[in-house]
Amino acid sequence: MDFDLPPPHASFRDAVRELAQGVALPLAAEVDRDHRFPDEALKAAAEAGLMGVLIPRKYGGAGLDALAFTLCIDELAQACASTSVIVDVHTSVGSEPILLFGTDEQKRRWLPRLASGELLGAFALTEPAAGSDAASLKTSARRTGDGYVLNGTKVFITNIGRAGLYIVFARTGPEERAAGVSAFLVPADTPGVRVGQMFKKMGLNGSPTGELVLEDVMVPIVNRLAAEGQGFTVAMRALDSGRIGISGQALGIGQAAVDEATALLRGRSREQGDDFTLAEMATRLESARLLAYNAAWQCSTGRPFTRSASMSKLHCTDTTMQVALDALQLAGEEGAVSGSPFERHVRDAKALQIYEGSNQVQRIVIAREVIQ
Ligand SMILES: Cc1cc2nc3c(=O)[nH]c(=O)nc-3n(C[C@H](O)[C@H](O)[C@H](O)COP(=O)(O)OP(=O)(O)OC[C@H]3O[C@@H](n4cnc5c(N)ncnc54)[C@H](O)[C@@H]3O)c2cc1C
């Protein structure tokens, strides 16, 4: 058994690290403070080919695997968590479903523009009364002629307002719950699509989050992704690999917290209790990293990975929340000052325990997989 990263993955990680540390890190505090989109980091990521990590070369992407994706998001998150979530959502739940479920025509039409970064992708599943219980969603897609008319409101949509393409989940049939859901590719400039309320979050402030309002939006049948009634399958498969990306985000935020705590302790006289805390932080993060790499490896090698992705998401995000809190505690008043990286990591880490399936939902998924 070999725990070394394969050389191509190691050099890819090093290249992403250089970009992240050079471009995203210097912006991170300002992006957080001003709640502003990290345009410079996104431009650099697009130029470096990071917007199409999972997209095959024939569609203009880098054609890399889930492990490379995890490393990419981890490195970006070490520098700037907002940048990492924008790229993560675009790459996984915002683009990958087209690769996995799209027709040849849909792939040719959309993937090159997503891979180049010309279009930013987004995923619109959640509704005001359908979060963890996504199958209860109410947005409607009524069949008319050669298309559908969509009506409804999606909430908490990452990349809102910046996305050029939304993958929208809506109810097409009278069938109950998941069986009546279909998926649609909805360009942002379609008449009837608009941005509603924007949400001011406690963290990930550079990543825009808000409502997607759909009012009599005409979507041609060629923009339906997968068969009618298969939308929930699309969403759940997208979230499985999305959870590997969230693991990468967690590893990045956690690593930044460990590194900053280490630098702090090196520079001051310390108690043995400080060392114990740092040792716990580093050990927890190392165990989380192994779970994430295992989930990525299972996904990349075509094995079933629902269970490992959920375990990884749960463990990585819970670990990072604790690691970020421990780092702040070690820093004391310096860490508690608004604008310090320590308090930013705590605020950024929290959402990871909530989105792409809350950690309670991960426990439900894992128990189901273990018991089956
Ligand atoms: C920053 C951010 C970005 C997001 N981006 C997107 C996006 O791009 N696209 C998108 O579609 N959605 C997005 N979401 C929405 C996210 O997926 C939902 O917040 C998440 O699914 C939880 O739904 P909810 O917030 O409605 O909580 P609820 O479902 O109302 O749950 C509230 C609490 O109850 C718990 N709970 C719920 N059901 C159970 C159960 N059966 N057993 C035990 N506990 C339970 C939950 O874990 C949670 O703690 C985002 C959310 C955030 C915070």
Question: Nearest 10 degrees: CA dihedral of 194, 197, 200, 201?
Answer: -80
Q: What is the pLDDT of residues 66-85, one digit of tens each?
A: 999 999 999 999 999 999 99
Res 269: pLDDT: 84
Atom 12 (ligand 1) nearest CA: 126
Contacts of residue 176, Cβ cutoff 8 Å, sequence gap at least 6: none
Distances 313 to 5, 266, 293 between C-alpha atoms, Å: 21, 31, 11
Angle (deg, nearest 10), helices 81-91 and 341-350: 30
CB 60 within 8 A of CB 112: yes
User: Residue 73 and residue 76: Cα distance in Å, rounded?
Assistant: 5
Tell how far CA 132 is from the center of its chain. Answer: 16
DSSP letter for each residue of 272-320: HHHHHHHHHHHHHHHHHHHHHHHHHHHHHTT---HHHHHHHHHHHHHHH
Q: Is 356 known to be catalytic?
A: yes
Nearest to 191 by CA among 218, 155, 221: 218
Per-residue confidence at 176, pLDDT binned at 50, 70, 90? confident
CA-nearest residue for atom 51, ligand 1, is: 355
CA of 214 to the centre of ligand 1 (A): 21
For atom 43 of ligand 1, the residue with the nearest CA is 360
Structural domains for the chain: 7-116 (1.10.540.10), 121-229 (2.40.110.10), 232-371 (1.20.140.10)
pLDDT digits (tens, 9 = 90+) for 82-133: 999 999 999 999 999 999 999 999 999 999 999 999 999 999 999 999 999 9
Provide the pLDDT confidence category of residue 252 given band limits of 50, 70 and 90. Answer: very high
The pLDDT confidence band at residue 174, using thresholds 50, 70 and 90, is: confident
In this predicted model, what pLDDT tens digit does every residue of 18-77 receive, in sequence order? 999 999 999 999 999 999 999 999 999 999 999 999 999 999 999 999 999 999 999 999
CA distance 26 to 99: 34
Beta-bridge partner residues of 224? 184
Q: What's the rounded Cα separation, in Å, for the pair 117 and 360?
A: 34
Q: 145: CA distance to ligand 1 center in Å? A: 35
- Element holding 219 (H helix, E strand): strand 209-220
Structure tokens at 370: 């273990």
**How far is 66 from 185, CA to CA, in rounded Å?**
23
Residue found under tokens 């759940």: 236
290 C-beta neighbours (distance < 10 Å), count: 12
Q: What confidence score (pLDDT) does residue 77 get?
A: 98
